Chains A and B, each alone.
Chain A
Amino acid sequence: GEDVEQSLFLSVREGDSSVINCTYTDSSSTYLYWYKQEPGAGLQLLTYIFSNMDMKQDQRLTVLLNKKDKHLSLRIADTQTGDSAIYFCAEKRASNYQLIWGAGTKLIIKP
Chain B
Amino acid sequence: DGGITQSPKYLFRKEGQNVTLSCEQNLNHDAMYWYRQDPGQGLRLIYYSQIVNDFQKGDIAEGYSVSREKKESFPLTVTSAQKNPTAFYLCATSDGGYTFGSGTRLTVV
Chain A interface (Cβ < 8 Å from any Cβ of B): 4, 8, 33, 35, 40-45, 48, 88, 98-104
Which residue of A is nearest B97, CB measured?
A45
A104 with B42, Cβ < 8 A, contacts A42-B90, A45-B98 known: yes
> Are A42's CB and B100's CB within 8 A?
yes
With A4-B42, A88-B43, A102-B42: A41-B97 Cβ-Cβ less than 8 Å: no
Q: Could you tell me if A41 and B42 are in contact, using CB atoms closer than 8 angstroms?
A: no
Q: Size class of B's contact patch?
A: 10 to 19
In the complex, whether B85 has a CB less than 8 A from a CB of chain A is no
A99 neighbours in B (Cβ, 8 Å): 43, 98
* Residues of chain B at the chain A interface (Cβ within 8 Å): 4, 6, 40-45, 48, 90, 92, 97-103, 105
Q: Which 6 pairs of residues, A with B, have the shortest CB-CB distance?
A: A101-B42, A42-B100, A101-B43, A43-B100, A42-B102, A103-B42
Chain B residue nearest to A42 in the complex (CB): B100
B40 CB to nearest A CB, Å: 6
Q: Which of A33, A35, A40 has the largest count of B CB atoms less than 10 A from its CB?
A: A40
